[in-house]
Amino acid sequence: MNLTFLQTFLTVIETGNLNKAAERLNVTQSTVTTRIDALEDALGRRLLVRSRRGTRLTRAGFELRPHAELLVHGWAQARKAINLPKGYSGLFSFACEFDLWHDLGQEWIYQTRTAHPELAYEARPGRRNEIAAWLGSGLTDLAMTIEPISGSGLASQHFCEQKIVHVSTQTAPFATPDPDYVFVDLGPDFRRQHSSAFPNASTAGMTFSISYWALEHLRAHGGSAYLPLGLVAPLLDNKELHLVTASPEFVRNVHLVWREANEVIFPWMRADT
């Protein structure tokens, strides 16, 4: 049995339609359709009823689902066991959205390694849809995300509020609007807060979707931007950057998402989150 077909089948169930499943798996919708067709042909049973409104399971699909979950999760655990470095009791897989790694992600994994040195760790960055697929397949045990991820067998919890501040390479007041302003897309919550605070703002001449890239741009070329306080705090302390005190501050919520089944393997996981 092709595990990719089973993973695709489970993703279609979780998302409710083929298009969303394709987005999560980062493939085309025709690829998802081909995989489901191949799985149905291999089993000789129709598993999904597909319509414009979405998909629903047939009786055969309901029967297959728990077995598919066991196979996919079992394969993920087997992969971890085979790749386990000598001297460790287990392998913990952590995923993190790109924009959270430099500030919160690496600090979380450092503290977890300190608290649980008996485990080997792997950390992988990814986009939200990629991380959702990794969690669903069992490739990832726990992830740090900007928006919570829901799905069968997943649990999530608010982790922290990340303060977002306006910083500049200039010390003197600058023109409003700032011609060197760099817009950093820090997620849906930030976009809503930013639009509310600056309803008449024009499109920035430079936009980034990763805070660290924007920070490097400011250091090389100058300008101002909204960035996570934890990322820029050392540069504020040494006066390389300066806080724009006249600008409002924003907050970005950060979440942890994990596989509930892994709480048996890592009983500390829920408590530590």
**Average pLDDT value for the chain:** 88
pLDDT for 3: 81
pLDDT for 175: 54
Residue 77 within a domain: no
Mean of pLDDT values over 207-213: 94
pLDDT tens, position by position, 228-262: 999 999 999 999 999 998 899 999 999 999 988 88
Q: Are 128 and 171 part of one and the same domain?
A: no
pLDDT for 33: 92
CATH of the domain at 60: 1.10.10.10
Q: Are 110 and 232 part of one and the same domain?
A: no
Q: Are 174 and 189 part of one and the same domain?
A: yes
Give the domain-ending residue among 68, 90, 122.
68
pLDDT tens, position by position, 159-179: 999 999 999 998 865 556 678
| Parent domain of 167 | 161-253
Q: If DSSP states are collapsed to H, E and C, what string results for 14-42?
A: HHCCHHHHHHHHCCCHHHHHHHHHHHHHH
Mean of pLDDT values over 182-197: 93
pLDDT for 71: 80
> Residue 94 in contact with residue 125, Cβ under 8 Å?
no
> Which residue has 């760099």 as its token pair?
182
Residue 75 within a domain: no
14 has pLDDT over 60:
yes
183 has pLDDT over 70:
yes
pLDDT for 209: 92
Q: Are 39 and 96 part of one and the same domain?
A: no
pTM over cut 0.85: no
Mean of pLDDT values over 190-218: 91
Most confident of 59-68, 167-176, 204-213: 204-213
Mean of pLDDT values over 4-21: 88
> Residue 138 in contact with residue 95, Cβ under 8 Å?
no
What's the pLDDT band for 65 if we cut at 50, 70, 90?
A: confident
Q: CA torsion sign, 71 to 76 to 77 to 83?
A: positive
pLDDT for 26: 85
CA distances from 121 to 88, 106, 143 (A): 10, 12, 13
CATH of the domain at 129: 3.40.190.10
Residue 40 within a domain: yes
Considering its fold, how many domains does the chain have in total?
Answer: 3
Residue 73 within a domain: no
Q: Are 238 and 169 part of one and the same domain?
A: yes
Tokens, residue 248: 């409002």
Residue 76 within a domain: no
What's the pLDDT band for 224 if we cut at 50, 70, 90?
A: very high
Mean of pLDDT values over 192-214: 90
pLDDT for 157: 92
User: How many Cβ atoms from other residues are within 10 Å of residue 85's Cβ?
Assistant: 7
pLDDT for 103: 87
pLDDT for 174: 57
